[in-house]
Amino acid sequence: MEQIIFFIVALMAVTSAVYFVFARNPLYAILSLIVTFFSIAAMYILLNAQFLGIVQIIVYAGAIMVLFLYILMMLNLNKADESKKQNLTKFIGVFSAGLLLIGVLGAFRGLKGNTVAGNVDSGIGLTKNLGRLLFNEYVLPFELASILILAGIVGAVLIGKKDL
């Protein structure tokens, strides 16, 4: 049952990603990208990586997509302003997609036998285990990273502050 749900969510992610690429309306493209991000988060949760799923929702579907929608509203795109794509740009896109297809086919050709892991720790992606590891074994690097982020924030405020 869990595999069926995973394949449904994966199909939804691929479908919405393909729609994102081929959508003519930028707003519909961004909305389909949001569906893609939520589908990827659902796949993470189904793979027992709850922390990655929540971070996917908060960072990508939350913050970055709000930024994309804000930029889209600020640009005010009109059909009259859009220029036609040149043939060279289309050729480069088709050529790049062909190279990607060759790479993916080469990667699949190199697979041998059973690619599914046999012994997987069921608690490896849980947030509780990640927090325990982070605050017990890696507490010093964690605190140093927080001080580094705080220094970056203070520096950005000082650079952005106007002289009074």
Q: How far apart are CA 131 and CA 104, in angstroms?
A: 36
Residue 108: both structure tokens together: 């699949």
> Are the CB atoms for 35 and 11 separated by under 8 Å?
no
What are the tens digits of pLDDT across the range 68-96? 878 877 776 665 545 555 677 778 878 88
Give the pLDDT confidence score for residue 147 in this predicted structure: 93
What are the tens digits of pLDDT across the range 86-140? 677 778 878 888 888 888 888 878 766 655 555 656 666 677 877 888 888 888 9
Picking from 39, 2, 6, the residue whose alpha carbon sits closest to that of residue 20 is 39
Q: What is the pTM of this model?
A: 0.60
Q: How far apart are CA 102 and CA 98, in angstroms?
A: 6
DSSP state of 82: P
Which of 27-41, 84-98, 146-160 is predicted least confidently?
A: 84-98
